[in-house]
Amino acid sequence: MDAMVVERFLQYVKFATQSDPATGMTPSTPGQMEFAWVLCEEMKELGLQEVTVDEHGYVMGFLPSNLEKETPAIGFIAHMDTSPEMSGKHVRPQIIEKYAGNDIVLNKENGIVLSTEEFPELSRYVGQTLITTDGNTLLGADDKAGIAEIMTALEYLIRHPEIKHGKICVCFTPDEEIGEGPEHFDVKKFGAKFAFTVDGGELGELEFENFHAANAHIVFKGRNFHPGYAKNKMINSIAMANEFIASLPKKEIPENTSGYEGFFHVYSIKGEVETTEVDILIRDFDRERFGWRKNTIENGVREFSKRYGLPIELELKDQYSNMREKIEPVHYIIDIARQAMQEVEVKPLIVPIRGGTDGARLSFMGLPTPNLFTGGHNFHGRYEYIPVYSMEKAVQVIVRIAELCTKI
């Protein structure tokens, strides 16, 4: 099983599938559609049924039930794109067998090292086989490891018909990394009662909580005069914006928060004396606190507009919600995933997602979708790596979930 999942993964990372928020298309890049057709053909060769690639690059198909009785269809989902934050072209994986616990030189020429001091979790994988980058690109385990794990689990089930399972629906989506994975997802066509994204991090991660999220775009208006004659006349929108930012709770920023703590994150500011634009991410797990954060922004805008006697424009948009609200009524699917992990000797690590996930939006679209681990570390950058053992365990968890769901 480990050889199959590794072979698939190493083939998949050869495809350049970075998403691009600037194109306005779905999929946003041609490499994703190319990869979609490759996966489509592989799924057909495995024996999946009704395999399609739609105009937006969504690959869907299903493995028929081998039960006599009818049980609810379940689903597994992973995304084809890699992050725009670093190149995913010409990925050259390195395989480190029987890792000795030392620093790993990814690129000697450029002095790029996967350091045990910077990444102490490496010590957990002594004696295991690791797959790393060559220091020039990301690896693509987010989420080609998830795709490889799902495909390998399906092949294992097909080769072992004695393992009973219901209908298993599969979808590989584009553009997750730019927040558009569920944009054209057809829940009805997919056909599952619930699903799991296989898109998490380290071994054992099981996630069914994420942030409530909003984005605030604020335009501060100023008044410009010659600086030599500006006394009591000039209003500098840059200074106004800085003052507004300083008025937000100083400790509630990403650098100071973890776990279930929310934050305000000023991630963009650009302007001149006349006009300054500020973008702020608003995040919280608790809906009431989330509402308070949005009110803080709205009240602050009103106060500063009144103080300076100038209009301030605010565009406040909700982005996604905490999927826990949709998972709690069907909490048995979390219990199934936890049991599956325990039965294949993986310790469940239930953690909140300090970000968004396709599963959140899908859950609010009527498809409850918690998230399973892939096994990878340090996604989106040159220090990304994945232990082969963790990939193999992900395959075992998927297979066991399929078995356990026959008892629903």
Catalytically annotated residues: 81, 176
* Helix ranges, 13-102 (H): 30-46
Give me 245's structure tokens. 């930012």
Asked if residues 165 and 66 have their Cβ atoms less than 8 Å apart, the reply is: yes
- Report the b/e string of 212-232 with b at 16+ CB within 10 A: bbbebebbbbbeeeeeeeeee
Locus of tokens 């987010």:
142
Asked if residues 273 and 238 have their Cβ atoms less than 8 Å apart, the reply is: yes
Alpha carbon 111 to its chain's center:
29
Q: How far apart are the first and last CA of the chain?
A: 27
Give me 274's structure tokens. 């006349």
Question: Kind and range of the H or E element at 391?
Answer: helix 388-404
Taking phi over 0 as left and psi of -120 to 50 as alpha, with beta for the rest, 236 belongs to: beta
Alpha carbon 182 to its chain's center:
12
Q: What 3-state DSSP class applies to 347?
A: coil
Question: Kind and range of the H or E element at 337?
Answer: helix 332-343
- C-alpha dist (Å) from residue 342 to 75, 117, 305: 20, 31, 56
Between CA 238 and CA 278 the distance in angstroms is: 10
Between CA 100 and CA 342 the distance in angstroms is: 28
For every residue of 247-311, DSSP letters joined together read HS-TT-SGGG--TT--EEEEEEEEE-SSEEEEEEEEEESSHHHHHHHHHHHHHHHHHHHHHHTS-
